């Protein structure tokens, strides 16, 4: 709310107009600009600070959290083994999801109605059925098809193998997570390509750039700028989603802490162990995501895009070489 110091004549200001003192012409440069006051910000700050202090206090002082036990199990061999399985589930699930998801997205964007339809059906089925159900289907695949064969489609088979030998519980988990994730990745990849300005493809076509090169060099890097942030969130979601695999009795992190606390009865500290590890892994993924986003964001703004770390290292090196030059 600024006081009516405007020097333009106020049409129809009438009775409401303050007949006060508009700044005399020529004195405007002497007027100081003061920032607006925000008393409520201070109130909000105080409230949040108190709440945060209470939360920290509750975490630290309550012995029921049992931090010593947390410390004892955090790096124990069983927990680290199960952590490794969680990491593998995340990595393989992401890999299957990304590759298959990209293929599905390309199918969905193709002009061929069959490819489009298959992709559309896959995406809607795998997005609609809850992950936990899908995992149980894969886990029980042997009930549905007890042998898997390789050969001519609808024709003779050259060799067959019992399903249980080919798809054990870990493979079933990889497949379940990967195939489910592919449906989501497909939509992310597709939205990334739709977001690229059609003028880019047109410019590339007008220059006679070959089709494959148009895809890899012109369209994909620009689509990735959209795809990467969402993919990062999906991978973090998948990391936490791997805990669902406990239904298959696979010793991943969440299953393993349950095994331990069922034996020792230390429920809360062991849940805390799992929470700390999920938090740590998510933090690592977030940092990775930030770096990759930065790389694909190059040229997207008018600002200097060099990594701050790189700039710091360079200027340090420059300073050192300057100093070396002086002493020499």
Partner 1 sequence: MSAGTDRRPVVHLQGVHKRFGALEVLRGIDLTVQAGTVTAVLGSSGSGKSTLLRTINHLEKVDAGLVEVNGELIGYRRAGNHLRELHEREVLRQRSGIGFVFQHFNLFPHLTVLENVAEAPLSAQRRRRSEVLPRARALLERVGLADKADEYPRRLSGGQQQRVAIARALALEPSLVLFDEPTSALDPELVGEVLDVIRDLARAGTTMVVVTHEIGFAREVADRVLFMHEGVVVEEGSAAEVLDAPRHERTRAFLAKVL
Smallest distance from partner 1 to CB 98, Å: 20
**Residue 229 Cβ vs partner 1, minimum distance, rounded to whole Å:** 16
| Residue span binding partner 1 (CB under 8 A) among the ranges 26-34, 73-81, 133-141, 213-221 | 213-221
Q: Is 317 in the site for partner 1 (CB under 8 A)?
A: no
**Shortest distance in whole angstroms from residue 310 CB to partner 1:** 16
Nearest 10 degrees: Cα torsion 136, 137, 142, 144: 140
* 310 touching partner 1, by CB under 8 A: no
Binding residue (CB under 8 A) for partner 1 from 62, 124, 171, 305: 305
Binding of partner 1 by 205 (CB under 8 A) = yes
Does position 146 interact with partner 1 (CB under 8 A)? The reply is no
Looking only at residues 217 through 256 of this chain, which bind partner 1 when binding is defined by CB under 8 A? 217-218, 221-222, 225
Give the nearer residue to partner 1 in terms of CB position, either 162 or 210: 210
Q: How far is the CB of 112 from partner 1 (least distance, A)?
A: 15
Per rule CB under 8 A, is residue 301 in the interface with partner 1?
A: yes
Binding site for partner 1 (CB under 8 A): 197, 199-200, 202-211, 213, 217-218, 221-222, 225, 296, 298-302, 305
């Amino acid at each position: 709310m600024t006081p009516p110091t405007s020097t333009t004549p106020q049409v129809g200001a009438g009775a409401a107009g303050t007949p006060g003192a508009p700044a005399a012409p020529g004195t405007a440069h002497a007027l100081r600009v003061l920032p607006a006051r925000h008393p409520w910000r201070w109130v909000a700050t105080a409230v949040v600070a108190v709440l945060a202090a209470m939360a920290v206090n509750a975490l630290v002082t309550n012995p029921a959290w049992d931090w010593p036990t947390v410390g004892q199990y955090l790096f124990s061999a069983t927990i680290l083994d199960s952590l490794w399985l969680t990491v593998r589930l995340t990595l393989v699930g992401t890999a299957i999801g990304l590759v298959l998801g990209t293929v599905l997205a390309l199918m969905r964007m193709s002009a061929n109605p069959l490819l489009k339809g298959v992709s559309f059906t896959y995406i809607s089925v795998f997005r609609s059925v809850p992950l936990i159900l899908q995992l149980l289907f894969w886990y029980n695949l042997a009930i549905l098809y007890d042998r898997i064969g390789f050969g001519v489609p609808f024709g003779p088979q050259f060799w067959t193998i019992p399903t249980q030998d080919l798809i054990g519980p870990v493979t079933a988990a990889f497949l379940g997570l990967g195939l489910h994730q592919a449906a989501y990745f497909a939509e992310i990849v597709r939205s990334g390509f739709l977001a690229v300005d059609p003028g880019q493809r047109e410019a590339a076509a007008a220059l006679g750039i070959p089709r494959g090169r148009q895809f890899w060099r012109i369209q994909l890097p620009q689509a990735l700028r959209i795809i990467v942030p969402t993919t990062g969130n999906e991978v973090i979601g998948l990391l936490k989603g791997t805990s669902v695999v406990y239904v298959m009795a696979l010793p991943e992190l969440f299953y393993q802490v349950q095994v331990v606390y069922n034996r020792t009865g230390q429920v809360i500290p062991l849940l805390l162990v799992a929470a700390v590890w999920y938090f740590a892994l998510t933090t690592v993924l977030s940092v990775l995501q930030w770096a990759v986003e930065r790389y694909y964001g190059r040229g997207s703004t008018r600002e200097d895009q060099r990594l701050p770390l790189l700039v710091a290292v360079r200027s340090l090196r420059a300073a050192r070489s300057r100093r070396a030059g002086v002493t020499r």
